[in-house]
Amino acid sequence: MLDPARIQTWVFDLDNTIYPAVQSLFPQIDVRIRAYIARRLGLELDESYRLQKQYYRDYGTTLRGMMTVHGVDPHDFLDYVHDIDYSVLQPSPRLQRALAGLPGRKLIFTNGSKPHAERVLSALGVAPAFDAIFDIVAADFIPKPQMRAYEILGESCNVRFDTAAMIEDLERNLVPAADLGMTTVWVKQDGHPDEQFIDSPSGDSPHIHHITQDLTAWLERMVDLGPMVKSS
């Protein structure tokens, strides 16, 4: 069992982690990415989709592939793909209480943009719980799971990896975190929107320390454990 009293910094992924994939926010972004590629490169949507997922596999994000291969302006890309309807997200009082009760700093570490993260956290009603948002711009457009993104996070946000926990929906993004000494938590979701484009671990990967299918309930257990651990 994870000792929450040992964790000084909680590092959360954003999309499909801080909210469940079933809330259908990220599929809007997925469609916008496909449309952006089609418009930018003059492709049919089927070919745009194929290229989108190829770059996602090869570069960590479609954005990185579009920057590397086609020289796109990352800010133009991010502004376009995050022009979505955030009203599909509903405030979560349980998540708000769990985050507020969790000891230590709480950070967002996302391959998306800071304005996107701010809108997501605001829609969920949890923005006050977070001390900072570390986005793809702050990472010099180096995406997870590239190790350098984690190193820049540590440098910029003063994260001691041996006293930090990382919570993610993508197993591959937990590999560098574990290698750096972070405690890892995999938010495992059946029917993940990108499950056919990513490796699906069996659950016994050495880089996965904890698994949950309900982030809010897991955080509530951590809050309940906190005083017990500290007083023992």
**Which residue do the tokens 């000494």 mark?**
181
| Cα 142 to Cα 136: distance, rounded to the nearest angstrom | 7
> How many distinct structural domains can be found in the chain?
2
Assess whether 141 and 221 both reside in one domain.
yes
Residue 103: which residues within 8 A CB-CB, separation 6 or more?
Answer: 4, 5, 7, 226
| Cα 61 to Cα 23: distance, rounded to the nearest angstrom | 21
Nearest CA to 215 out of 189, 190, 193 is that of 189
Assess whether 142 and 181 both reside in one domain.
yes
Which pLDDT band, with edges at 50, 70 and 90, does 205 fall under?
confident
Query: Residue 71's domain is classified under what CATH number?
Result: 1.10.150.450
Assess whether 66 and 9 both reside in one domain.
no
Assess whether 139 and 190 both reside in one domain.
yes
Assess whether 163 and 75 both reside in one domain.
no
Residue 202 pLDDT > 80: no
Tokens matching residue 77: 């890309």
Residue 205: which residues within 8 A CB-CB, separation 6 or more?
Answer: 171
Choose one of 37, 54, 81: the last residue of a domain.
81
Choose one of 37, 52, 81: the last residue of a domain.
81
Residue 201: CB atoms within 10 A of its CB come to 16
DSSP category for residue 198: S
| Cα 3 to Cα 24: distance, rounded to the nearest angstrom | 33
Residue 191's pLDDT is 59
Assess whether 31 and 116 both reside in one domain.
no
Query: Residue 223's domain is classified under what CATH number?
Result: 3.40.50.1000
Is residue 213 within 8 Å of residue 21, measured between CB atoms?
Answer: no
Assess whether 57 and 100 both reside in one domain.
no
Is residue 112 within 8 Å of residue 78, measured between CB atoms?
Answer: yes
Instruction: Give the CA distances from residue 99 to residues 82, 113, 114, 200, in Å, rounded to whole numbers and listed in that order.
Output: 25, 22, 19, 28
Assess whether 157 and 194 both reside in one domain.
yes
Assess whether 145 and 48 both reside in one domain.
no
Residue 125 pLDDT > 50: yes
Tokens matching residue 66: 């579009």
Tokens matching residue 29: 């972004």
Q: Please, what is the Cα angle at 35 between 42 and 193, to 5 degrees?
A: 135
Which pLDDT band, with edges at 50, 70 and 90, does 23 fall under?
confident
β-bridge mates for residue 132, sequence order: 107
Beta strands in 127-163 (DSSP E): 132-134
- Mean pLDDT, range 2-23, rounded to an integer: 92
Is residue 12 within 8 Å of residue 133, measured between CB atoms?
Answer: no
Residue 143's pLDDT is 96
Assess whether 55 and 117 both reside in one domain.
no
Assess whether 101 and 179 both reside in one domain.
yes
Assess whether 136 and 209 both reside in one domain.
yes
Taking the chain, what is the end-to-end CA distance rounded to the nearest angstrom?
A: 15
Q: What residues make up the domain containing 30?
A: 26-81
Please give the backbone phi and psi of residue 168, each rounded to the nearest 5 degrees, phi first. Answer: -145, 150
Averaged pLDDT of the chain: 91
Residue 90 pLDDT > 60: yes
- Strand pairing class (132-134; 210-212): unpaired
